[in-house]
Structures are given as structure tokens and as C-alpha cells.
Chains A and B, each alone.
Chain A
């Protein structure tokens, strides 16, 4: 069992290395391709091996992330119109994920911010970033290490609901938490 996971991790590291280096071209020094799944450019020990969970969603190692009965299977924080503040109702959810991340320091999370479709795509991308940053900040304040978290925006590009109605728009104003292997 353990061996299988280790072998898969090695394969994944290889794959990730291949992915992250392929878009690079000569002369690129300033904008190094970030490898979100392993140690980034922050100058860590070159010999350190970061275990990566190869199983999509990590369900084999961390079944609680997928178990519908576990709060950790819930991943979305919804926001009010023109708001970037996490509502009280999501506190238990954010705290549960913070607890999971602090007790699993090798697990990484990508937080994707989203907006409704109204207005400029690029401005919405910046607004979605504010939602992702709000979730990231809440997790950081609860003790999650900065290196485990990346907040990005999908703006209005990946709506979960595509009708032009308020109920749909509110479903699209959200921050999604994805664990290693899910993005």
C-alpha cells in the first residue's frame, strides 16, 4: 500500500516537472514557471522531496476530503454582491479546512475566486482575486502556512451556473478550495 503511494508520488513529481518546464523558453529568467505542487522559488533544500498525492482528490489518503458526511467535502464559500468578506456562516467550514491543512503541512491548496458575469472580464478577474485572497487570509490567520496556499482568480470565466438571473449570479460569486491533485 505504502509502496504504491510512494511510486505514484514519484511518477507525479516527474509529470509535474515535465509540465512546469515545457512552456519555458530560452531567455526567460524573470517569470519563472511556478510549480505549485512542490517547493517554489523560496530557496529550500534541493534534496528535500515533497510528497505529492497522486490520487485525484486525495481520496485514498484523505477520504475525509471526499466524504459527503465530512465538512471537508464542502469547498465553496459564497459571497454577497460586491462583497469580499467571508460571511459568518462559512466560519466553521474555513476553520475545518485550516485545521486539516495545519495538521497536514505537506498538503497544498489552490483557492480559486469567481465572480458573476456582469462587467469587464479583466476587472472581474481582479474582483475574483479579492475573494480568493479573503479565503487565503482567513486560512493564514488560522495558522496555515503561506507556502501551502495559492490564491488565484478565474473571474467570470468558469461559472457554476450560466443563466442571467440573481440566483445564478449569487452561485457564481464564490471562492473554491482545491487540494493537491484536484487542480
Chain B
């Protein structure tokens, strides 16, 4: 049995949702500052019937694909192309597109719409696949991201990340907000507002919870926060400082940094705060743990005199040094496939996001900025999200793992920092 919600109530819900979303000044605006070398030309025709929606789904699809830096959008003009009739391949080829998507939006039951679309190889004139989905009119953005994910995966062979979300901290004046937005910066919502700093948000592997450090108790305490309910619990509040939470791949445990026994050292706890265990021991600082999908915990340690990256098995054991170049390498994050690592290295006074191939030990500086912090991989490993500074203000930026594609996300006023790219949504 489904619940029928009267129209007037639905309007009220929509108004509440709008009121909860942040003001326009606080919305992240995205800017593309670098693109890939060989971008594939694709055309996304206007879908038949999409003018009935608050905004065209294909606008969202085009913006997503363009922003990826992998595709070049070929404009076909405003006349729609439906999913039923075969497209005019001659015209599409003459515009230079290698692939084209066409589609139809038609009313279905209860005020909802059915979207049907098909992707073609324009040169071979063959269908690459089609999909149908049902949406309510205000879901044009979510639907657009899902279509973009489908097209991205068909054309590159890798999953897209347009339906993922990001978390970050917005500081405006003395107010701190932990916000969640779509990967393109839209739909920003505040999960926590505080007068005291919030740092180090970390997504649970299923994307339903965030662990973070809040200073609301005048000292760093680790909380776990369920996004859908706003319910939160203390995961670590021992004497001294509690910080740097990182989830285990199964989402059951957190690696945290505690000072209850002296210097900053890494422990693991259950997400509800029970079952604390020490993971490693060193004479120096151990911090910034990050769990890889293949079971390692990468972390920063100054046990050798300068801060460097080390790793230890998630179950404990002997630590191995991972970074060797330079005198300041911090904030490690393993790639989703466990084959590479991003971290921040200091190079002649500049702090820059650096990629390390774990097999070849080759390093590559990915950015040309100088105050980079907190890198994290997109779930498909293609892009790295990080914080940096432009004109004295904190902004978010993303760079492809080959260093070519570059984007920047900023707000009109205020500092944005501490980004974390969320996992693939589970449908």
C-alpha cells in the first residue's frame, strides 16, 4: 500500500525543503578551469516532452558530461528528438558528434513522468543501449545525473559519479556549517551548524552517516551523524583530543586519533564508541588514518623526524613507510582500487596534491596551487576533490587523476574547506 499525499501537503513539503536548503549566497558555483586533451564529442538532443518539467533534464546531463572534462558537448539546437524514431545520423555526424542521446518524457500516473532515452554510436549508427525511469517533476536534477552516469559508463567503461554527494565545511564569519551537496555543488543542505569549528568529515561506506570532529565542547570530539535523521552519537570523547575519524570498509569500525595515553596515536573503535583498541604505537605523532579497500590503514607519522606517509594492516602489525621524497607529506587517501595514493606534499613552501603510484613508486604533483589540503578520491578514482585557497578565500577544487581536468567550486562569500567525496549511492 502506498501513502497518498494531498497536493497541498506536497507543496508544503517542497516549501520546507527549500527553507532548509541554504541561501543562494551559500550555494557552491562550479567553474571549469582545465579540460582533458582529447575530449569525445557527444550530442544530447533535447528530449521530447521535457519542456513540461521545471527544468530540462538534458540541461543537467550536458552540464555533467561537459564538467567531467572527458566529453565535448556538440549543440544540436532546441528541436527535440524522441526515443522512438531513429535520429538523423547525417545531421548529427555533420555537427561532429561521435555519440548521441535522444529521449522522450511522457506523463505517467499520479503526476509523475516516464523518461525513456537511447544512446547511439553516431558513426556506426547502432544503439548502445536504452533505459527508462519514472520521476516526479522536481526530480529533474537527480534524473539528469542518472542519465549522465549511464552515458558516461557506456562511453568510458567506468561508472560515473554524477549522482554522488560531497560533504564540506562552510565558514561564514564565526559560523561553521557542515554541508552536503550534489557532486556539482547544487542542492546544498546543512547537516550541522555550530559556533565552533568542525573538521575532518568522513563518509560511512554506505553514504548514510558522517563521522567528523566538532569543537563544540571546547575540545575536539568525534561524532557519528546519521544524515537522514540528524541523530548523532559521540564516537570518541576521551580525556585529551579526539580526531581524524576514518571508516573501515565494512562501516563497522572507525580509526580515530586519541591522546588519552600521551601523544596523538591511532586507535579503532566501533561506530557507537565502544570497543576501543590501540592500532599502532610510535614515539612520535601518528594521525590522519585512512582505510583502503584492500585492508591497509594509511596514515601520517613523524616517527622518522618529518611527517611522512606510512601504512599498517587494518588488523594491526608492523608499519611500513610509503613516502620518501621531501620533508612534508601528509593527509594520505588511497584510491578506490588501492593502486595509488593522493596526499599533500610540501614543495618549496607550496602545499600541493600529489599522486603516488604504489606499484611503480612514481609521484606526480597534480595541481599548480600552493595551499592544498584534504584530498579525497571520487568513488570511480577519476577525480580528486581537495581544498585550496584563491584570493585569500577557501575554495574547493577537483582535479583528474592525470592532472588535466580541473574544476573549482566556491561560494559568493565565506570559506569552503574540509571536503570529502561521498560513495556511490545505493539504489
In whole angstroms, how far apart are the Cα atoms of A33 and B238 in the complex? 7
**Is there an interface contact between A129 and B259, defined as CB atoms closer than 8 Å?**
yes
Q: How many A-B residue pairs have CB under 8 A?
A: 139
Q: What residues of A have a CB within 8 angstroms of the CB of B237 in the complex? A: 23, 31-34
In whole angstroms, how far apart are the Cα atoms of A20 and B383 in the complex? 41
A123-B259 contact, Cβ under 8 Å, with A31-B276, A40-B239: no
Q: Tell me, rounded to whole Å, the shortest Cβ–Cβ distance linking B103 to chain A.
A: 45
- Residue among B237, B344, B351 with the most chain A CB within 10 A? B237
Within 8 A of A (CB), among B213-256: 215, 218-221, 223, 231-244
Is A154 positioned at the interface, with any CB of B under 8 Å from its CB? yes
Within 8 A of A (CB), among B100-120: none
The listed residue (B197, B273, B307, B346) touching A28 by CB distance below 8 A is: B273
Q: What residues of A have a CB within 8 angstroms of the CB of B373 in the complex? A: 120-121
Q: Tell me, rounded to whole Å, the shortest Cβ–Cβ distance linking A157 to chain B.
A: 4
Is A153 positioned at the interface, with any CB of B under 8 Å from its CB? yes
Q: Tell me, rounded to whole Å, the shortest Cβ–Cβ distance linking B278 to chain A.
A: 12
Q: What residues of B have a CB within 8 angstroms of the CB of A40 in the complex? A: 239
Q: Which residue of B lies closest to A152 (CB)?
A: B219
The listed residue (A23, A26, A127, A183) touching B218 by CB distance below 8 A is: A183
**Is there an interface contact between A23 and B287, defined as CB atoms closer than 8 Å?**
no
Q: Tell me, rounded to whole Å, the shortest Cβ–Cβ distance linking A84 to chain B.
A: 10
Report B323-346 CB contacts with A as 1/0, cut-off 8 Å. Answer: 000001011000000000000101
**Is there an interface contact between A129 and B263, defined as CB atoms closer than 8 Å?**
yes
In whole angstroms, how far apart are the Cα atoms of A34 and B241 in the complex? 11
Report A122-161 CB contacts with B as 1/0, cut-off 8 Å. Answer: 1101110110010000000000000000111111011000
Is A119 positioned at the interface, with any CB of B under 8 Å from its CB? yes
Report A64-96 CB contacts with B as 1/0, cut-off 8 Å. Answer: 000000000000000000000000000000000
Within 8 A of A (CB), among B67-89: none
**Is there an interface contact between B274 and A31, defined as CB atoms closer than 8 Å?**
yes
A125-B273 contact, Cβ under 8 Å, with A34-B239, A40-B239: no
**Is there an interface contact between A129 and B264, defined as CB atoms closer than 8 Å?**
yes
**Is there an interface contact between A126 and B238, defined as CB atoms closer than 8 Å?**
no
Q: Which residue of B lies closest to A117 (CB)?
A: B371
**Is there an interface contact between B220 and A152, defined as CB atoms closer than 8 Å?**
yes
Interface residues on B, range: 35 or more
How many chain A residues touch the partner (CB < 8 A)? 38
Q: Tell me, rounded to whole Å, the shortest Cβ–Cβ distance linking B343 to chain A.
A: 9
Q: Tell me, rounded to whole Å, the shortest Cβ–Cβ distance linking B177 to chain A.
A: 15
Q: What residues of B have a CB within 8 angstroms of the CB of A129 in the complex? A: 240-241, 259, 263-264
Report A32-53 CB contacts with B as 1/0, cut-off 8 Å. Answer: 1110100010000000000000
In whole angstroms, how far apart are the Cα atoms of A120 and B392 in the complex? 17
Q: Which residue of B lies closest to A22 (CB)?
A: B234
28 contacts between A and B (CB under 8 A): A23-B221, A25-B231, A28-B233, A30-B269, A30-B270, A31-B273, A34-B239, A36-B219, A36-B239, A110-B218, A112-B219, A118-B351, A119-B328, A120-B288, A120-B307, A121-B418, A122-B199, A122-B200, A122-B331, A123-B287, A123-B307, A123-B331, A125-B220, A125-B287, A129-B259, A133-B262, A153-B241, A158-B215
- In the A-B complex, the 3 residue pairs with the closest CB atoms: A31-B273, A126-B264, A25-B233
Q: Which residues of B contact A (CB under 8 A)?
A: 197, 199-200, 215, 218-221, 223, 231-244, 257, 259, 262-264, 269-270, 272-276, 285, 287-288, 300, 307, 328, 330-331, 344, 346, 351, 373-374, 392, 418
